Amino acid sequence: MEYDGILLGMGNPLLDISAVVDQDFWNKYEIEPNNAILAEDKHLPMYDEMAAKPTVEYIAGGATQNSIRVAQKNSFLWHLQWILQFPGATSYMGSVGKDKFGEEMKKNAQDAGVNVHYYEDETAPTGTCAVCVLDGERSLIANLSAASCYKVDQLKRPENWALVEKAKFYYIAGFFLTVSPESIQLVAEHAAANNKIFSMNLSAPFICEFFRDPQEKALPYMDFVFGYETEARTFSKVHGWETDNVEEIALKISQWPKASGTHKRITVITQGAGPVVVAEDGKVKLFPVIPLPKEKLVDANGTGDAFVGGFLSQLVQEKPIAECVRAGCYASNIIFQRSGCTYPEKPDFA
């Protein structure tokens, strides 16, 4: 199989400002554990406050970009770049500012082997995400800035659309629904018309609540739907399903009408230390995760993104779903033991 440019991601590239904080900090900014929200005015002072902390780290992030980097450097590609180990197997598009943070993220992604096509906006700085870590739990507050400047016109540029035409698999986190649903729809329709695989992530409760319309418009095109149990339950509540049972919710999402009958829909929901829920063909399967002693848990930031990256790294090789889940669990387990969505130089997934 030809792997060059096989997987394309689109999303909001953000520089993660990550630091361990205390309970008073969480209370001050009304932070909830395992949550992801867009920054409001009341949150803006936290970025300077976190930057002043001695434990602060700056890490190239953004949900989709994390997943693409992990897929590229992880298992797909572990013998080819972590898990794909084959430079150029993945591509990524999004918007950054024309500044040093944007340049640093570009270098970080390129060093991982990802073919990056950023739109550089000259009116706004590169977006940032406050990663607030307390007792191993994380909460994300994103200030999109330049990331919110991506428009469908950028996607239509010949050099960018060429990446869409070249790819056979697409992954977009739900967060991009806040920026360019038109771009998502264009790629989704292309995938359906050309028998390619299109996947998205529920991403966060607020996406399911406040971006329901564009999410529902894209859902018929999704061949794979990823998510965490929290947003899955929110999706259920928003649609009046009257169930908190993750297995039932996953099954209902998998049975949502599709725009194309070429591929069935498979829903994959993670539950932290609980088993991974996979719904397909009217049935649900549970896959255990890799146990991790509490003393080895460093940071939950990026673990869900890493799971998707590991999963996709095997999917593009047309491996069985069980093997995709195994790679996802492996990648997530590694990221749990590190600060932010970072990884060792070489994976030992086999």
CA distance linking residue 272 with residue 137, whole number of Å: 11
Provide DSSP, 191-226. Answer: HHHTT-EEEEE---HHHHHHSHHHHHHHGGG-SEEE
The catalytically annotated residue of 16, 121, 223, 305 is 305
The Cα angle at residue 23 between residues 17 and 25, in degrees rounded to 5: 50
What's the residue count for the chain?
350
Task: Note if 305 is an active site residue.
Answer: yes
Find the largest Cα–Cα distance for the chain.
53
CA distance linking residue 81 with residue 113, whole number of Å: 7
CA distance linking residue 347 with residue 329, whole number of Å: 13
Under 8 Å between Cβ of 344 and 331: no
97 is written with which tokens?
């500012």
Under 8 Å between Cβ of 154 and 40: no
CA distance linking residue 219 with residue 256, whole number of Å: 8
Under 8 Å between Cβ of 187 and 170: yes
222 is written with which tokens?
């999704």
Under 8 Å between Cβ of 157 and 163: no
No. of helices (H) and no. of strands (E), the chain: 13, 14
* Helix extents (H) in the chain: 23-28, 45-51, 63-73, 100-111, 152-155, 158-166, 181-193, 205-210, 212-218, 229-238, 246-254, 303-315, 321-336
37 sits in which H/E element? strand 36-38
Residues that are catalytic: 305
